[in-house]
Amino acid sequence: MHHLHVIVASANAVLREALELFLNRRGCHVLTAVNGLDCLAKLRASPPDLLVLAPPLLWGSEAGVADLIKDDPVLGSVSVLMLGRPTGHDSVKAAMDTVAEYLAVQPQRRARKAQRPRPGHLVGPCSTQRYLWN
């Protein structure tokens, strides 16, 4: 079984740590980043299978990080899950539900990704606030 290598990037410590624990319990190897610069450095040092971008992300927004990597020859093939801005006390649970949904369909996505000729292709909005690349 392939254990996913994941980077979770957010300045929201509660959300970042909750997602790290959630993913670790599901067998993922998780690195965290506290801002956009930290995220880019970790991406370049060890490109993950999945990058989770959760607002707020200082020193480079979520969209800014995604824009920088999508055309990169190496990082452009990284799957990106961009979460919506947290609202209310249920935002951590909503974020974990979104990540769980991704993990549930990940094997099928990996098979489709292998068949696609162009890495970095925008797959499209999953809802009004969640986006997946690759």
What CATH number is given to the structural domain containing 48?
Answer: 3.40.50.2300
CA nearest 29: which of 38, 42, 41?
42
- Find residue 46's DSSP bridge partners: none
Residue ranges of alpha helices (H) inside the chain are 13-25, 36-45, 62-70, 91-115
Domain count within the chain: 1
pLDDT at 121 over 50: no
Could you list the residue range(s) of the whole structural domain that residue 41 is in?
Answer: 5-133
Digit-coded pLDDT (tens) for 23-68: 999 999 999 999 999 999 999 999 999 999 988 888 878 888 888 8
For residue 74, the model assigns a pLDDT of 87
State the Cα–Cα distance between residues 84 and 28, nearest whole angstrom. 22
Mean pLDDT within 111-131: 40
For residue 64, the model assigns a pLDDT of 84
Distances (CA, A) of 115 to 2, 21, 23: 19, 32, 26
Digit-coded pLDDT (tens) for 3-21: 889 999 999 998 999 999 9
State yes or no: cis peptide before 56, omega within 30 of 0: yes
